[in-house]
């Protein structure tokens, strides 16, 4: 069949298997170009491993350090006449490349929040991965979570305390418009923390430790985002920000539980075009602005660049140097984006944006191209007019 992009707002309902595979190959090539080190993790569990920073962390672990990996994700498989999700194709391409390189790679397609998934992952670590993991990467960005009592908690993107009014982009019409959001209720805040906070991260580490699937010297890292003051009303000071604060508190809890100061950290990463970030009001417009500013300074990093820097310079620095953290104990890979000169340039552009100069002042075209590329589209080396089989050779384990 011919697979075309079907995009409405921040949702794309199709994905191209050849384009997704090419994206994965590119990330592997960028990692291999940096060389393979033998002083890092040997067995890695990545929770949320099929796209974005989670996929990049898995690629870096395997092709940058030669690690065996277990990736956990929830994705939509293809059908005979219907494409699967981009994450499905990404995971399939990674597993194929890893095994071709002689690297153990195990995939578990299941609800990461479910206790049964944790139990199944422990079995796979013991019987398929070859021993306890020494690095756990927590990279979940989920819209909902089924709780132990059977109820569902939902992620809500709202301000806290007072209404929010701001500028964003309608990506269907390519026009700016004002967005107005009422403040979240206490219930909505609590639900967002349950989904996007650190509770499930802690449950994973406890389950692994109790199941003898966590190496004595294991580390764990979770990904977060601080962002600039331009986005704080809807992000850091909103429901998502409250969840990220909980994630950071959880890191300190895990350090005490594991008994080592380097055992658990939150890594603050740069902004990135992802399915999740595209859903947050204001963020797409900010991304269009900051992409242009960073590109002009030669400082724009993609997901795989950030993860290689995280692993090589922070988690496993040469010579065994101590971790470098900020005053809150966080690893900071957002320092280039949040540099004062970069943010001054962003604010200057922001103050002048209108519908007439949107394309000229920002990298909005690049933002849209990057979003399409997440799903395997917008690549010059793929013939999108050619027939492609949506079914790929991939059979992940299930819980």
- DSSP 3-state of 281: coil
Interatomic CA distance for residues 194 and 65, integer angstroms: 33
- DSSP 3-state of 265: strand
CB atoms within 10 A of CB 356: 8
Asked if 286 is an active-site residue, the reply is no
- DSSP 3-state of 16: coil
Do 93 and 21 touch, CB atoms closer than 8 A? yes
- DSSP 3-state of 105: strand
The DSSP code for 14 is -
- For 146, the enclosing helix (H) or strand (E) is strand 144-146
Tokens of 143: 């819209």
> Which of 138, 235, 286, 364 does the annotation list as catalytic?
235
CB atoms within 10 A of CB 296: 12
Tokens of 373: 């590329």
Catalytic machinery residues: 235
């Amino acid at each position: 069949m011919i697979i075309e992009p079907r995009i409405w707002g921040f949702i794309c309902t199709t994905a191209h298997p050849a384009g997704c595979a090419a994206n994965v190959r590119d990330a592997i090539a960028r990692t291999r170009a940096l060389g393979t080190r033998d002083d890092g993790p040997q067995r890695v569990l990545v929770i949320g491993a099929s796209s974005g920073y989670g996929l990049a962390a898995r690629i870096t672990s395997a092709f940058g350090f030669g690690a065996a990996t277990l990736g956990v994700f929830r994705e939509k498989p293809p059908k005979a006449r219907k494409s699967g999700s981009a994450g499905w194709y990404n995971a399939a391409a990674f597993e194929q490349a890893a095994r071709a390189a002689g690297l153990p790679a195990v995939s578990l397609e299941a609800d990461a929040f479910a206790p049964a998934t944790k139990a199944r992952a422990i079995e796979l670590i013991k019987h398929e991965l070859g021993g306890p993991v020494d690095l756990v990467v927590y990279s979940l960005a989920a819209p909902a979570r089924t709780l132990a009592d059977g109820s569902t908690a939902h992620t809500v993107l709202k301000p806290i305390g007072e209404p929010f009014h701001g500028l964003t982009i309608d990506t269907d019409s390519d026009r700016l418009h004002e967005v107005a959001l009422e403040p979240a209720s206490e219930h909505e805040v609590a639900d967002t923390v349950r989904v996007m906070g650190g509770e499930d991260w802690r449950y994973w580490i406890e389950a692994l430790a109790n199941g003898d699937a966590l190496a004595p010297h294991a580390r764990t890292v979770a990904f977060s985002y601080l962002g600039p003051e331009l986005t704080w009303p809807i992000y850091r000071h909103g429901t998502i920000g409250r969840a990220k604060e909980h994630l950071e508190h959880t890191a300190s809890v895990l350090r005490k539980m594991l008994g080592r100061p380097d055992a658990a950290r939150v890594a603050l990463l740069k902004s990135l075009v992802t399915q999740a970030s595209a859903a947050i009001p204001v963020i797409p417009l900010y991304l269009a602005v900051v992409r242009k500013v960073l590109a002009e300074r030669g400082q724009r990093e993609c997901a795989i660049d950030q993860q290689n820097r995280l692993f090589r310079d922070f988690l496993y620095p040469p010579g065994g140097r101590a971790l470098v953290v900020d005053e809150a104990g966080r690893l900071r890979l957002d320092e280039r984006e949040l540099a004062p000169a970069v943010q001054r340039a962003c604010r200057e552009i922001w103050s002048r944006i209108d519908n007439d100069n949107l394309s000229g002042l920002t990298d909005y075209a690049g933002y849209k191209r990057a979003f399409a590329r997440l799903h395997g589209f917008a690549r010059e080396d793929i013939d999108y007019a050619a027939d492609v089989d949506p079914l790929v050779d991939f059979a992940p384990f299930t819980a």
